[in-house]
Amino acid sequence: MMRIADSFLAELDQEAQTTRRMLERVPGNKLSWKPHTKSMSLGQLALHVATIPGGVAQNLSNDSFEIPASTSPPAAQSATELIPALDESVRAAKQVLGGMEDGKLMGTWKLTKNGKELMAVPRVAIVRSIMLNHWYHHRGQLSVYLRELDVPVPSIYGPSADEDPFQ
């Protein structure tokens, strides 16, 4: 019988390959670039994309997570740190998810800030909405950053203007 985590693990493997192709194209000389003053820098966004799965998985190991006072994401100092960060993040996510039985994934997980409960949902909902969908959202942002910097955008789910895997 298939466990709930198994489908997430397969999706994580597939999406990590796409994320790797995106991160491999991040130009190291543009890490401080921002499309707008309110936006994250390329270095912040790229490192965030690289580390989302493992960071979320670690938070799911506990029954709750308290949002820290400072939520500004750290920035990559070099493009060469992005792929190792992604590899470690995916490894950590697979280890945590791989060890979670269905009962634990269906168990309640809480998000709090300043001691106030912001949400209480099954862990499986956080895996889908934050570990995966949130990851894809920021990867999409990264593709726009690359386009703005005139870096060829890799295929994600089909052809991009720069790459067609079906030819």
pLDDT digit string, tens, across residues 12-68: 999 999 999 999 999 999 999 999 999 999 999 999 999 999 999 999 999 999 999
Q: What is the Cα–Cα distance from 102 to 94, expressed in whole angstroms?
A: 15
Global pTM value: 0.95
Instruction: Say if 44 falls within a structural domain.
Output: yes
Q: Which residue range is the domain that position 58 belongs to?
A: 4-148
148-151 LR contacts (CB < 8 Å, sep 24+): 148/35, 149/27, 149/30, 149/33, 149/42, 151/25, 151/26, 151/27
Which residue in the block uniquely carries the two structure tokens 């198994």? 6
Residue 155 lies in a domain: no
Digit-coded pLDDT (tens) for 81-121: 999 999 999 999 999 999 999 999 999 999 999 999 999 99
58 is a domain residue: yes
Using the structure block, give the residue that is written with the tokens 């190291």: 28
- Token readout for 93 is 């996510």
Cα separation, 111 vs 143, whole angstroms: 29
Judge whether 38 lies within some domain: yes
Q: Map residue 43 onto helix, strand or coil.
A: helix
